[in-house]
Amino acid sequence: MINVPNYAFDRVLNLGFRGFRLMSIFRFKIWWMIPSFGNSGRDVPVETQVLLLEGAEKTGVHDDDAETPSSKGTLYILFLPALEGQFRTSLQGTSENELQLCVESGGPNVQTSQVKEALFVNSGYNPFELMKDSVRILAKHKGTFSHVEDKKIPPHLDWFGWCTWDAFYTRVDPQGIREGLKSLSEGGCPAKFLIIDDGWQETVNDILKEGETPTDGIEFATRLADIKENKKFTQTDPGCTATNLIGYWGGLHPNHEPLKKYKPKIEYPVLSPGSQSHTRCGALLSLVKNGVGLINPDCVYDFYNDLHSYLASCGVDGVKVDIQNVIEALGSGYGGRVMLTKKYQEALEEVLSRTLKTIT
């Protein structure tokens, strides 16, 4: 158990740290994680999600049952920040070579004075087995996720497929898709599945004027206007499509009639201190400035059900769900980031499990 004095929105706790070689996996953007390496506390980046330390004799880390500290090889120590109730955690180093545990809720009214299971620590002599075994232990204890080896793997993962994003971005159209599929087939690599990425949905941007060149990520202020496809994609051959956890980059448009029943409301993302240390891209800055049309959590099941039932009726058999991280910055007033994300994810998983065959 760790006491969290005067906890409000964000709190860091010093855990203590001595010299180790280390590898961390941290979020360098709100969307992405990458590895980092070092040998002291100051080398642990903000928003570290996984920390692996390599022990050595000089650190004093050893196995009490071994004849010598090194008789079984190098000892590795693994730290996995975990969710606890309404709170999430991450690790970060300091200039004084300390290791800090950051506990946050994403909502100023979601508070606690202590956390009991916010950090999982394990050790072993094989770093690969240590990672696998630790995730299994944590999955069994928490009961909120499964180890990858225990998950049902979609059969299409063994197929060669094509996603339209890098070829067209939002300018995708049916003719371009047909030409792309033909080119792949003629080149001896026929695609066995197709993902129609961003560009098929009916959207509107109230901020970007017609004919104006997008600047400063203003195109990400675009909001969903209808659950149905835009005019380009009427009667297009079925496949997989890309959807978004919040409907679209800028969420749902609150004033478009087809979407009013989901009660969207413009909310402005509030970035945590860790998120503000990220490399912030134009998309994120645009959402912070222009807001997101957030689906009312009590209506999110209906939205997902209507959207994916319609897609299934059109012959679409799978979705790639994008823009899942923004929801963490919209938790204020909705029970915090963990509870809001949980509400959305559970509704999405329940709908997809019965409406579509393929989820990525």
Q: Please give the structure tokens belonging to residue 245.
A: 């956890």
Using CB atoms within 10 Å of the CB of residue 105, give its burial: 0 to 12 exposed, 13 to 18 middle, 19+ buried: buried
Euclidean distance between CA atoms 240 and 315, whole angstroms: 9
Q: Are residues 192 and 240 in the same domain?
A: yes
Residue 219 Cα distances to 229, 294, 303, 312, 348, angstroms: 19, 17, 23, 28, 26
192 in Cβ contact with 161 (< 8 Å): yes
Q: Are residues 144 and 161 in the same domain?
A: no
What is the domain extent for residue 35? 2-149
pLDDT tens string 99-137: 899 999 999 899 888 888 999 999 999 999 999 999 999
Amino acid in position 208: L
Which residue did the predictor score with more confidence, 360 or 280? 280
pLDDT tens string 235-285: 655 667 888 999 999 999 999 999 999 999 999 999 888 888 877 788 889
Euclidean distance between CA atoms 201 and 176, whole angstroms: 16
Torsions phi, psi for 25 (to 5 deg): -115, 120
Of the three residues 149, 181, 216, the one that is the final residue of a domain is 149
Euclidean distance between CA atoms 215 and 228, whole angstroms: 28
Looking at residue 11, its pLDDT comes to: 56
Q: Are residues 141 and 57 in the same domain?
A: yes
Q: Are residues 79 and 171 in the same domain?
A: no
Average pLDDT over residues 282-304: 95
79 in Cβ contact with 121 (< 8 Å): yes
295: left (phi over 0), alpha (psi -120 to 50) or beta: beta
Q: Are residues 141 and 273 in the same domain?
A: no
C-alpha gyration radius of the chain: 23
Checking if the pLDDT of 163 tops 70, the result is yes
Of the three residues 98, 125, 149, the one that is the final residue of a domain is 149
Q: Are residues 217 and 280 in the same domain?
A: yes
Q: Are residues 167 and 202 in the same domain?
A: yes
Looking at residue 69, its pLDDT comes to: 47
Looking at residue 358, its pLDDT comes to: 58
Looking at residue 208, its pLDDT comes to: 82
Average pLDDT over residues 318-327: 92
Q: Are residues 235 and 330 in the same domain?
A: yes
Average pLDDT over residues 35-51: 94
Q: Are residues 294 and 159 in the same domain?
A: yes
58 in Cβ contact with 18 (< 8 Å): no
Q: Please give the structure tokens belonging to residue 92.
A: 């970060």
Looking at residue 68, its pLDDT comes to: 47
Q: Are residues 183 and 91 in the same domain?
A: no
Q: What percent of the chain has pLDDT over 70?
A: 87
Q: Under 8 Å CB-to-CB from 206, ≥6 apart: which residues?
A: 221, 223, 253
Domain containing 313 — which CATH number? Answer: 3.20.20.70
Looking at residue 120, its pLDDT comes to: 96
Q: Are residues 131 and 276 in the same domain?
A: no
Q: Are residues 130 and 219 in the same domain?
A: no
Looking at residue 56, its pLDDT comes to: 64
DSSP string of 195-209?
Answer: EE-TTSEEEE-SSSP
Looking at residue 115, its pLDDT comes to: 87
Q: Under 8 Å CB-to-CB from 45, ≥6 apart: which residues?
A: 24, 26, 28, 36, 92, 93
**In terms of Cα–Cα distance, which of 251, 248, 242 is closest to 359?**
242
Of the three residues 120, 149, 178, the one that is the final residue of a domain is 149
pLDDT tens string 53-66: 998 654 444 445 54
Looking at residue 36, its pLDDT comes to: 97
Question: Structural domain tally of the chain?
Answer: 2
- Average of per-residue pLDDT values in the chain: 88
Euclidean distance between CA atoms 220 and 230, whole angstroms: 18
